[in-house]
Amino acid sequence: MTLRHGMIAGVLALATMGFGGAASAQGCTVNLGGILTLTGTQGDIGKAIGDTAQMAIDQINEAGGIRGCRVNFILRDDQGQPQVGVDAAKQLVEVNRVQALIGTIGSGVSLPILTSVTAPARVTQVSCCSTSPTFTQLAIEGRTGGYWFRTIPTSLLQAVASANQTIDNGWRRTAVLYVNTDFGVNMARDYERAIKALGGAVTMMVPFNENQTSYRAEVQRALSQPHDSMMLIGFPQDGSTVAREWISLGGSQNLMLNNSLRSDQFLTNVGARFLNNAWGMDNAQVSAPSVEQFNRDFQARFNRPARGPGIHTVYDAVVVTALAMHAAGANADGTGIRDQMRRVISLNGEVHGTGVAGIKGALDAITAGRTIRYVGSTGPFQFDANGDVTGPALIWRIQNGQFAEVRTLDMDAMNALFARVNAAPR
């Protein structure tokens, strides 16, 4: 009996010990919560994202911290399991008293955290990586309370820019071939919606599964309706196969491509001479000084190039949240932080970039009471009313075997397009 009770008490004591261990650093500290998927199938991606988040925290501390206090980043693993993620979030909010939380990766975990922990507790949640359109829907329904933000562009942003270019090119009847993953499905749906709103038509929506040797059947289905162009959503390997078969079976060479296909692999596999009327969009932040600064810092710290999903977006998620916390003041609650999230990226503000110098400049300017505009490792960006990130879009095309940048749709142009698409009946 005593052994049994001793064991139970021991296990419970060990479990609760974790809660008591308060920060032991000198001076004041500010807690910032983090939840990412550090183990399981997405563990490798998640660890790199977690390391990058810690790099951002270290730079913020080196730049002086939030209101002179060190930032204590409490990172928890959701193991890719919603129940574990929600529990960790509840602990961070109720026990560690965080007022802002970075996370998480999977939409299936971020969503229950938002609706059952952060939004009811009025804690600001900023995700680097959840792309599900459900969050936008929740925000429109008023269920997020405005506490939800994400630094990863939604599929809608890419789809609207592509649809706009399709119409500008004078193409009116477009067949859509898309990869059958949640990314492809959402993107294709958004593209169809945008095309209709902007005055074009989609003739066929044909999904294809990954890693097949041939997509003849899918291509033939897409060809079955008269069309003047094709939108291809996929990744280089399968995308090349689809494009080759499409062209060889007599499909239109008026092509719109998603940003993953802006790759040399795709260009060589399909053949440059067939692609002289291929267009696409990308996020415009691919070349800005703040992006290069981040890439240099990353290379210096981890000794490898800054490539991989979520790395750039998590850096911006951490920094923009920290700046908002700084702007909101020493004892700010989640609501105070929420209200500052858009102000630290004000369009007419003083521009500050990434790295220790950039963050220090931004912190000092906020302390001095000036309006600032943080331009991040993903370039300039804004949050719309639903907490979704918007940014300028870049239009490119292929000419004589080269990728050429055609023009940039600035944020005003993008916002105008969003307004038109959102106003149109679904």
Partner 1 sequence: MTAYLIFFFTVVGIYAIAVIGLNLQWGFTGLFNAGVVGFLAIGGYTFAILTGPPRADFFGGFSMPFMVGIAGAIIASMFGALLLGLATLKLREDYLAITTFGIAITIQLAALNSDWLTGGNLGLHGIPRPLQDLFESNAAYGVFYLGLVAVTLGIVYWGVEAIVRSPWGRVLKAIREDEVAAQSLGKNVLRYRLEALMLGAGLMGLSGALYVGFIAYISPFDFMPIVTFQIWTMLILGGSGNNRGAILGALVVWAIWSGSGALVANMLPPVWQARGGALQSVLIGLLLVLTLLYRPRGLIGEETTISRHVTGTTGAGLTKKKETKA
CB of 45 to partner 1, least distance (A): 11
Query: Which of 69, 86, 163, 281 lies at the binding interface for partner 1 (CB under 8 A)?
Result: 86
Are the CB atoms for 106 and 76 separated by under 8 Å? no
Question: Is 387 one of the binding residues for partner 1 (CB under 8 A)?
Answer: no
Of 112 and 289, nearer to partner 1 (C-beta) is: 112
Question: Is 43 one of the binding residues for partner 1 (CB under 8 A)?
Answer: yes
Are the CB atoms for 199 and 174 separated by under 8 Å? no
Are the CB atoms for 69 and 325 separated by under 8 Å? no
Query: Quick one: residue 54, left, alpha or beta (phi over 0 = left, psi -120 to 50 = alpha)?
Result: alpha
Contacting range for partner 1; rule: CB under 8 A; set: 42-50, 276-284, 291-299, 309-317: 42-50
Question: Is 84 one of the binding residues for partner 1 (CB under 8 A)?
Answer: yes
Query: Which of 62, 68, 120, 271 lies at the binding interface for partner 1 (CB under 8 A)?
Result: 120
Q: The dihedral of CA 247, 251, 254, 256: what is its sign?
A: negative
Question: Is 50 one of the binding residues for partner 1 (CB under 8 A)?
Answer: yes
Query: Which of 62, 68, 140, 143 lies at the binding interface for partner 1 (CB under 8 A)?
Result: 143
In the chain, the amino acid numbered 348 is: N
Query: Quick one: residue 2, left, alpha or beta (phi over 0 = left, psi -120 to 50 = alpha)?
Result: alpha
Would you call 289 exposed, middle or buried from its count of C-beta atoms within 10 A (0-12, 13-18, 19+)? middle
Query: Quick one: residue 3, left, alpha or beta (phi over 0 = left, psi -120 to 50 = alpha)?
Result: alpha
CB of 258 to partner 1, least distance (A): 19
Question: Is 26 one of the binding residues for partner 1 (CB under 8 A)?
Answer: no
Question: Is 29 one of the binding residues for partner 1 (CB under 8 A)?
Answer: no
Contacting range for partner 1; rule: CB under 8 A; set: 19-27, 251-259, 335-343, 364-372: 19-27
- For strand 393-399 and strand 278-283, is the pairing parallel, antiparallel, or unpaired? antiparallel
Structure-derived torsion over alpha carbons of residues 261, 288, 66, 373, reported in degrees to the nearest 10: -110
CB of 256 to partner 1, least distance (A): 25
Question: Is 121 one of the binding residues for partner 1 (CB under 8 A)?
Answer: yes
Report how far residue 109's alpha carbon sits from residue 119's, in angstroms, rounded to the nearest whole number.
14
CB of 51 to partner 1, least distance (A): 5
Tokens of 113: 């955290």
Residue 6's alpha-carbon distances to 1, 15, 17, in angstroms, are: 8, 14, 16
Site size toward partner 1, by CB under 8 A: 65
CB of 71 to partner 1, least distance (A): 10
Place of tokens 């970039």: 353
Question: Is 219 one of the binding residues for partner 1 (CB under 8 A)?
Answer: no
Query: Quick one: residue 256, left, alpha or beta (phi over 0 = left, psi -120 to 50 = alpha)?
Result: beta
Query: Which of 87, 228, 292, 350 lies at the binding interface for partner 1 (CB under 8 A)?
Result: 87
Question: Is 189 one of the binding residues for partner 1 (CB under 8 A)?
Answer: no
Question: Is 393 one of the binding residues for partner 1 (CB under 8 A)?
Answer: no
Question: Is 132 one of the binding residues for partner 1 (CB under 8 A)?
Answer: yes
Question: Is 248 one of the binding residues for partner 1 (CB under 8 A)?
Answer: no
Query: Which of 65, 82, 361, 387 lies at the binding interface for partner 1 (CB under 8 A)?
Result: 82
Of 51 and 228, nearer to partner 1 (C-beta) is: 51
Query: Which of 45, 56, 63, 88 lies at the binding interface for partner 1 (CB under 8 A)?
Result: 88
Question: Is 39 one of the binding residues for partner 1 (CB under 8 A)?
Answer: yes
CA angle 371, 284, 56 (to 5 degrees): 55
Contacting range for partner 1; rule: CB under 8 A; set: 137-145, 170-178, 286-294, 369-377: 137-145
Contacting range for partner 1; rule: CB under 8 A; set: 15-23, 204-212, 244-252, 281-289: 15-23
Residues paired with 74 in a beta bridge: 33
- 269-274: list long-range contacts, CB under 8 Å, 24+ apart: 269/236, 269/240, 269/244, 270/240, 270/243, 270/244, 271/244, 272/398, 272/400, 272/401, 274/243, 274/247
Question: Is 109 one of the binding residues for partner 1 (CB under 8 A)?
Answer: yes
Query: Which of 95, 249, 385, 424 lies at the binding interface for partner 1 (CB under 8 A)?
Result: 95
Report how far residue 154's alpha carbon sits from residue 159's, in angstroms, rounded to the nearest whole number.
9
Residues near partner 1 (CB under 8 A) are: 3-4, 7-8, 11-12, 14-19, 21-22, 34, 36-39, 43, 46-48, 50-51, 53-54, 57-58, 73-77, 79-84, 86-88, 90-91, 94-95, 106-109, 111-112, 115-116, 120-121, 132-134, 137-138, 141, 143, 182
